[in-house]
Amino acid sequence: MKKKYCVLCIVYCVLFLTQYSILNTQYYAYAQSLSSTELINNAKLYDGKILTYEGEVIGDIMARGDYAWLNVNDGQNAIGIWADKNLTKDISYTGTYKSKGDLVEITGVFHRACLEHGGDLDIHAQAIRKLRQGRGVIERLNTSKRNLIFVLLGVLCLVWILKILKLK
């Protein structure tokens, strides 16, 4: 009888803990991609949830051991993504003045104030999917600006000559 009672207790505890962990391991997933403004403004609502977020990878991919930080900008804000280094291997372009970064979709756990990373608002990526390859931006000489420079140079020379004449 006592043995049976103990087994029942263990089963109950296991069930309880499993349920607790299910509730606490954020299994509420948001299939639709969320914007950074939505996440920042409703951070408490999405805290600990699995969600998808998409945007352009900007700046540097900062390797930290087996992991890496990348920052993804959806056009409103940029959010830090903490990802396994292997997940970032496919990223070939990051957004700078001279390049348009890869457009990626991040699936991961959102943290309003990540305890692992000093309270940063971030996403711990579980999967990264490249939606569109980035590209280098070819800079073409802006001829209107060039022409304006020559006009202003002429005016500047004139003013300079007048200044010298006045001083003499």
Partner 1 sequence: MILKPRLEDIKIIGYYLGKIMVALGFTMLVPIAIGLAFGEINPVLDFIIGTEIALIFGLILIKLCFTEKELSWMQGMIVVSLSWIAAMLLGAIPLYLSGHWKSYLDACFDAMSGFATTGLVLVQDLDHLSYTHNLWRHLIMFIGGQGIVIVALSFFVRGFSGAFKMYVGEARDERVMPNVIHTARFIWLVSIVYLILGTLALGVVAMLNGIKPANAFFHGACIFMAAFDTGGFAPQSQNVLYYHSFLFEIITVIIMILGALNFKLHYHLWVGNRREIFKNIETKTLFITILITFCITAFGLAQIGSYPKALVLFRKGFYQLISGHTGTGFMTIYSRQFINEWNQFSLVGVICAMALGGAVCSTTGAIKMLRVGIIVKALKQDLKRIILPERAIVVQKFHHIKEVFIEDKQARSALLITLAYLVLYGLGAIIGMLFGHPFLDSLFESTSAAANVGLSCGITTVDMPVTLKLTYILQMWAGRLEFMSVFTLIGFFIAAIKGKK
Does 120 bind partner 1 (CB under 8 A)? Our answer is yes
Query: In the set 46, 69, 93, 110, which binds partner 1 (CB under 8 A)?
Result: 69
Query: How many Å separate Cα 162 from the centre of its chain?
Result: 55
Interface mask toward partner 1 for 3-32; x: CB under 8 A = ------------------------------
Helix (H, G, I), strand (E, B) or coil at 110: strand
* Listed ranges 9-17, 25-33, 52-60, 102-110: which one lies at the site for partner 1 (CB under 8 A): 52-60
The tokens for 108 are 């991961």
> H-helix or E-strand containing 52?
strand 50-64
Strands 78-84, 120-132: parallel, antiparallel or unpaired by DSSP?
A: parallel
Helix (H, G, I), strand (E, B) or coil at 161: helix
Query: In the set 2, 3, 166, 168, which binds partner 1 (CB under 8 A)?
Result: 166
How many CB atoms neighbour CB 94 within 10 A?
19
Query: In the set 1, 3, 5, 142, which binds partner 1 (CB under 8 A)?
Result: 142
CA neighbor of 94 nearest in space, from 86, 102, 106, 82: 102
Q: What's the CA gap between 38 and 21, in Å, rounded? A: 27
**Beta carbon nearer to partner 1, 10 or 116:** 116
Sites of contact with partner 1 (CB under 8 A): 40-41, 43-44, 58-64, 68-69, 71, 73, 77-78, 80, 82, 95-98, 112-113, 115, 117-122, 139, 141-142, 145-146, 148-149, 152-153, 155-156, 159-160, 162-163, 166-167
